[in-house]
Amino acid sequence: MDETYDGPFYQGFVFFLVSANPQKGNHILTITLQIDGFAANAGILGTWRSQDNPASLKPVEGWITQGGGSIECQWSTPNGGTNVLTGTLTYNPGRYTRFTGLAWPSAFLDGDVVDFDSAGNPTDKGPGHVSGTGMRQIMIAP
């Protein structure tokens, strides 16, 4: 059995995630670095922030597992606790056709964010269930 990560390359993907709880607002997860070489998993580093508050930016670390179909990552909270996102990733490699043009690679993330206080107890302060699509951001020179 081959013990190397062979899933999609998510580095550079930005996910716009909608919370199932409308009082929690939307969030943005950015995967800035993907590091292969952790057996069948890929390590990830990135950021998490509220869509409405860029100052809420938090560093994120975690794993992509199951051939790119699963994600788990965490970040610190202001109360000394931790938020943990666990979910599934559905990758779409994109394609080009003469009639529809280019469809960029994308992925759909469906998961749950659980907030833990400083003692490791779950709270109801996190965004809860989140879902949304991500893709690499494309910059076009003027």
| CATH code for position 99 | 2.40.128
pLDDT for 109 equals 98
Residue 105 forms part of a structural domain: yes
Residue type, 97: T
Ordered per-residue pLDDT tens for the chain, 142 residues: 567 888 999 999 999 999 998 888 899 999 999 998 778 899 999 999 999 988 899 999 999 999 999 999 999 998 899 999 999 999 999 888 787 777 889 999 999 999 999 999 999 888 999 999 999 987 776 6
pLDDT for 102 equals 78
pLDDT for 2 equals 61
pLDDT for 106 equals 95
Residue 6 forms part of a structural domain: no
Residue 2 forms part of a structural domain: no
Residue 42 forms part of a structural domain: yes
Domain encompassing residue 23: 13-136
Round to whole Å and give the CA distance between 29 and 48: 5
pLDDT for 33 equals 97
pLDDT for 78 equals 86
Residue 41 forms part of a structural domain: yes
pLDDT for 80 equals 92
List the helix and strand counts (H, then E) for the chain.
0, 10
- Distance of CA 73 to CAs 31, 79, 97, 100, Å? 10, 18, 35, 35
Number of compact structural domains in the chain: 1
pTM for the full model?
0.90
Residue 125 forms part of a structural domain: yes
pLDDT for 17 equals 97
pLDDT for 104 equals 86
Residue 142 forms part of a structural domain: no
Residue 3 forms part of a structural domain: no
